[in-house]
Structure 1
């Protein structure tokens, strides 16, 4: 089994697409105005409008209400990403800091309040943990 994608549901697809194009450096594929996908090397990040949830059942999702998931992106240089994104991100949660399990990490929220973590393994143990992963 392969983890294929994460889909976020929102009332404003265009607003999230704009931020995630800036964050990922990847242009979204837009097969429909209510749907976008970012094909990243390790996974696909999808964004769907709340109108699309009816396709999955009445109680399948509510846009912009999830506070239990952190989208995590491993990056080569957290400090450089912080400088690059400082003008784009409006809601910073934590500036770059080293966390106890050995990652250098920064956290911020997208316009819907979803939490994003950009991290870089910096200790020997953390680098070992991530060796061989995409």
Structure 2
């Protein structure tokens, strides 16, 4: 089994896709006006408008209501990315900080309030785990 994507449901798909394009440097592939994907070599971040929920049934998901998931991106240099992210959002939860498990981590929220983690392994053990 392989986890291949996470989908975020939003009431403002254009705003959220634009944010993630700027944050990640990845251009979204739009399938319809209500569905876009940011595709990387290892993972896809899918973004769907609330109109896509009609296919799943009433009350299945609620946009901008997440308080339990962190979407994590392995980045080359979290300190370099921080300079770009702090221009995109004022909602930086944690500036780049080296965590006890060996990753340097930047936590921020996207425009819908979803928690995003950009991290770079910096300890020998963390580097070994990811590279």
TM, length-normalised to structure 2: 0.95
CA distance in 2, matches of 1:85, 1:109: 10
Q: Tell me how far 1:90 sits from its aligned partner.
A: 2.3
Question: Considering only aligned residues, what root-mean-square deviation do their CA atoms show, in Å?
Answer: 1.0
Match of 1:84 in 2: 84
| Unpaired segments ≥5 residues, structure 2 | none
CA distance in 2, matches of 1:105, 1:93: 11
Q: How does 1:65-104 map to 2 (within 5 A)?
A: 65-104=65-104
CA distance in 1, matches of 2:66, 2:30: 23
CA distance in 2, matches of 1:74, 1:103: 10
Q: How many residues in Structure 1 have an aligned counterpart in Structure 2?
A: 131
- Which segment is superposed worse, 38-47 or 58-67? 58-67
Match of 2:26 in 1: 26
Q: How does 1:1-134 map to 2 (within 5 A)?
A: 1-131=1-131
CA distance in 2, matches of 1:129, 1:43: 17
CA distance in 2, matches of 1:114, 1:101: 23
TM, length-normalised to structure 1: 0.93
Which digits, 9 at most, give the CA deviation of each residue in 1:60-100, with x for residues without a partner? 21111111110100111111111122211221000011011
CA distance in 1, matches of 2:13, 2:25: 17
CA distance in 1, matches of 2:75, 2:82: 11
Q: Tell me how far 1:57 sits from its aligned partner.
A: 2.2
CA distance in 2, matches of 1:87, 1:62: 27
